[in-house]
Amino acid sequence: MKQSWKPGTMIYPLPAVLVSCGNSPQRRNLITVAWTGTVCTNPAMCYISVRPERHSYQIIKEEMQFTINLTTKEMAQAVDWCGVKSGRDFDKWKETGLTPIDGVAVTCPYVEQAPISIECRVKEIIPLGSHHMFLAEVVNVLADEQYLDPTTGAFNMEQAQLVSYNHGAYYTQGEKIGRFGWTVQKKKKKK
């Protein structure tokens, strides 16, 4: 039997990402976001949802660009700290020891320590209520070579120990149980 609860956000886990923004050293900021995801494959599009009162909101709205930086277990303390402290009061880059690197396809920085950085240009801002959604096109993806398989060039998610957010807590990825389509793959015949 299931209980009925009031409407709420129960779609978990979500990636716990650091969004970087600001096109000059004086404006650069980091914001922790879990309301993020993929919305389209072709063109590659994603979103972040941010409260208008957050410091980064106005920067992103004015510059219409941001970078989503996936995070690792080693970055977890910085991820949490950036989510509870404001860029109005702190230089989050300095306080966390994270390194801003100039973007490739956008003018905001990415986080050097992030295993994947996804550079985005905002296409539309959708007011939803407590949060506004920044719908964006992915214009470049930067992958840290230390996580690439030397044979296939594929990104090794397990090695990166990506962080997710699950109903108020942070977790690393769990055990791999299968690959997309594994339930319908034909077994190879033994010779």
Burial-class residue 169 by CB neighbours within 10 Å (0-12, 13-18, 19+). Answer: exposed
Cis peptide bond N-terminal to 13, omega within 30: yes
Range of lowest pLDDT (45-59, 66-80, 164-178): 164-178
Radius of gyration of the chain (CA): 18
| pLDDT of the residue at 114 | 98
134-161 pLDDT per residue, tens: 999 999 999 999 999 999 999 998 889 9
Residue with tokens 């964006």: 136
Least confident of 7-11, 77-81, 103-107: 7-11
pLDDT band at 172 (very low <50, low <70, confident <90, very high): very high
Query: In the prediction, which pLDDT does 190 show?
Result: 66
Query: Sign of the C-alpha dihedral, residues 77, 78, 81, 83?
Result: negative
Neighbours of 86 (CB within 10 A): 14
Q: Is the pTM of this model over 0.75?
A: yes
Domains and CATH numbers, the chain: 14-172 (2.30.110.10)
pLDDT band at 178 (very low <50, low <70, confident <90, very high): confident
Range of lowest pLDDT (34-38, 105-109, 169-173)? 169-173
Question: Which pLDDT score, from 0 to 100, does residue 185 have?
Answer: 83
Residue 132 has pLDDT above 90, yes or no: yes
DSSP string, 19-37: EEE-SSTTT-EEEEE-SEE
Task: Give yes or no for a contact between 123 and 135, defined as CB atoms under 8 angstroms apart.
Answer: yes
Q: In this predicted model, what pLDDT tens digit does every residue of 9-58 receive, in sequence order?
A: 889 999 999 999 999 999 999 999 999 999 999 999 999 999 999 999 99
* Residue 34, CA distances (Å) to 69, 101, 105, 112 in order: 11, 22, 23, 20
- pLDDT by residue (tens digit) across 85-106? 999 999 999 999 999 999 999 9
Instruction: Check residues 191 and 13 and name the one with the higher pLDDT.
Output: 13
